[in-house]
Structure 1
């Protein structure tokens, strides 16, 4: 029997206004009705908790599967997916600005996929190396891909 995913944790830092080089029209946070999704193992998981997420300067953590802290945990549960599938498919963060902020400024993202037998894998964005920041939105694109 293949090793299954036990837990996925996405740690996401939204840039501060100063780091984002804020303009009059763009705030760095993904506020309002904006949504952020994590793509892993051939599907997407909604990154959202009961508190306000993605505020400027915030460090947010989203746990799916074991010890879940996300809203709608039952439909955002990866525990029935083989770990090998997660390693064969793209891993990414996607910003959806329908009805919310026009853009979102990402400073850091780290995704850890834990297998039921203790094997784990960490994915990060090469686009966010060093002091880099990354705007996502209508004028900048909506996704950033991660690698191990």
Structure 2
């Protein structure tokens, strides 16, 4: 049992993802969902971005997306599902995003979450007509 101080979320967008993707991306860890957004063009084809929540945060509104407020605990890591969710900006079916990889690391302890099916496999489409959630498992 330890207080979670930092969550790192590495997201790789496939090189064949559409340009100009808009929408919101969220990660759920230890029973709480966090918004991932920064000053970069995160969802452009071929981007590889690591978001930091908590200690050393590099996202917009870090105080609202902090695992220390309220304090999350490593005891909760296996009690709740871990996932990544894409929320398109509208109901248009062509507003999709192609995710190549997502890896989540929790500090302290170094717990790591991944979807091994994405490793070396074709990327997955996320959107209104293709599903919006990728579940992650502890590896």
Which of 88, 94, 116 is equivalent to 2:85? 94
C-alpha separation between the residues in 2 aligned to 1:30 and 1:123? 28
Contact 1:109-1:125 within 8 A present in 2 as well: yes
Runs of at least 5 residues in structure 2 that lack an aligned partner in the other structure: none
Moved over 4 A (4+): none
Which of 106, 110, 114 is equivalent to 1:113? 106
How much does 1:132 deviate?
2.5
Q: Structure 1 length normalisation: TM-score? A: 0.84
Which of 30, 33, 38 is equivalent to 2:27? 38
Which of 106, 128, 131 is equivalent to 1:141? 131
Runs of at least 5 residues in structure 1 that lack an aligned partner in the other structure: 21-26
How much does 1:88 deviate?
1.7
CA displacement 1:64-83 (0-9 Å, x = unmatched) = 00100011000100021111
Please state which structure has a larger fraction of its residues in helix: 1
C-alpha separation between the residues in 2 aligned to 1:16 and 1:81? 35
* Matching of residues 43-82 of structure 1 within 5 Å: 43-79=32-68, 80-82=71-73
How much does 1:30 deviate?
6.7
Contact 2:21-2:95 within 8 A present in 1 as well: no
Q: Structure 2 length normalisation: TM-score? A: 0.89
